[in-house]
Chains A and B, each alone.
Chain A
Amino acid sequence: EPEVTQTPSHQVTQMGQEVILRCVPISNHLYFYWYRQILGQKVEFLVSFYNNEISEKSEIFDDQFSVERPDGSNFTLKIRSTKLEDSAMYFCASSGRKGLYEQYFGPGTRLTVT
């Protein structure tokens, strides 16, 4: 069964450094998402991406964040200058033609900013 994959599973970085989180959505899916979950809290929407552009973003998704689909298979989230409060689990999700509203999540990347 197709699945969403994410790398790395755990990333440790120093405050102020740039990080890139990578995702490979399910092939032939159309919508791509990033969500964030701070430890012990609920999952929060960051950004959605469709037809090679951002379709919607939340207040969390400020100028420090960017997304890209560089080669038709990967979907990346970049944080330019990480802060301590960026420490969280980051989930990628995708949805396809048969159910645009039904999102399948990757296993997540745990980002730790020290």
Chain B
Amino acid sequence: AQTVTQSQPEMSVQEAETVTLSCTYDTSESNYYLFWYKQPPSRQMILVIRQEAYKQQNATENRFSVNFQKAAKSFSLKISDSQLGDTAMYFCAFTTSRAGSYQLTFGKGTKLSVIP
């Protein structure tokens, strides 16, 4: 069974600073996909960034980047130049390409507060 672990229940960062959120996962699959979703107070789930396991290059989306360490099964999210609008719950998620479904397995989330 796949599991996703986020070991930081809460974090805070000063506006304009950089913060890194941790995520580890466990799977026996060789081909899979990893995601970070943002959930602001409105509770909408917003896709922030994705990473295909077969790609060695770390994904980047504007101020958001990941550090994907496949051997260590680690997938951390770095937010640069933090903004007040980044305040949200952040969920790490995992899926595989096995037949039948692409269901997501989520971690418990990290609550990020950006302090002005």
Chain A positions within 8 Å of B, measured between CB atoms, are 31, 33, 35, 37, 41-45, 48, 50, 55-56, 58, 89, 91, 93, 95, 100-105, 107-108, 110
For the complex, would chain B's binding face be called helix, strand, loop or mixed by DSSP majority? loop
Does the CB pair B44–A105 fall under 8 Å?
yes
Interface segment among B20-28, B68-76, B106-114: the answer is B106-114
Whether, in the assembled complex, B60 has its beta carbon less than 8 Å from a beta carbon of chain A, the answer is no
25 A–B contacts, CB within 8 A, in A order = A31-B102, A33-B103, A42-B91, A42-B107, A42-B108, A42-B109, A43-B91, A43-B93, A43-B104, A43-B106, A45-B104, A48-B101, A48-B102, A55-B100, A56-B103, A58-B103, A101-B33, A101-B97, A102-B33, A102-B35, A103-B47, A103-B102, A105-B44, A107-B44, A108-B43
Query: Count of B residues near A, CB < 8 Å?
Result: 24
Given the interface contacts A42-B106, A48-B102, does A101 sit within 8 Å of B43 by beta carbon?
Answer: no
* Residue in B closest to A3 when the chains form the complex, CB atoms: B44
Contact of B47 among A48, A91, A104 (CB under 8 A): A104
Contact of B104 among A103, A107, A108 (CB under 8 A): A103
